[in-house]
Amino acid sequence: MTGTLSEPAAEPAAGPGLSLHVTKGHGTENDFVLLDDRRGELDLSAALVRALTDRHAGVGGDGVIRLIESSRLPEGAAVLAADPSARWFMDYRNADGSVAEMCGNGVRVFAAYLEQLGLWDPFGGELAVGTRAGVRWVRRIRAASRPVAAMPEEKDGPWYAVDMGPWSLPGGDRAVEAGYDAEVAVVGLAEVRPALGVDVGNPHTVLALAGLAELEAADLTRAPAVVPVPPRGTNVELVVPLGEETGPDGVAVGRLRMRVHERGVGETRSCGTGACAAALAVRAWAGDGAPDVWLVDVPGGTVRVSVLPGGHVELAGPAVLVADADVVLAALGR
DSSP 8-state symbol, 146: -
Give burial (CB, 10 Å; 0-12/13-18/19+) of 192: middle
Active-site position among 103, 109, 220, 319: 103
Helix (H) or strand (E) holding 44: none
Phi, psi of 104 (to 5 degrees): -65, -45
Provide DSSP, 169-217.
Answer: -TTHHHHHHHT-SEEEE-TT-SS-EEEEEEESSSEEEEEE-SSHHHHHH
Q: Which residues contact 302 (CB under 8 A, 6 or more apart)?
A: 28, 151, 152, 295, 296, 317
Active-site position among 206, 271, 278, 327: 271
Clarify whether 103 is annotated catalytic. Answer: yes
Q: How many helices (H) and strands (E) does the chain have?
A: 6, 18
Clarify whether 271 is annotated catalytic. Answer: yes
**CA angle, 323 then 328 then 330, to 5°:** 155
The Cα–Cα gap between 119 and 104 comes to 20
Q: Which residues are catalytic?
A: 103, 271
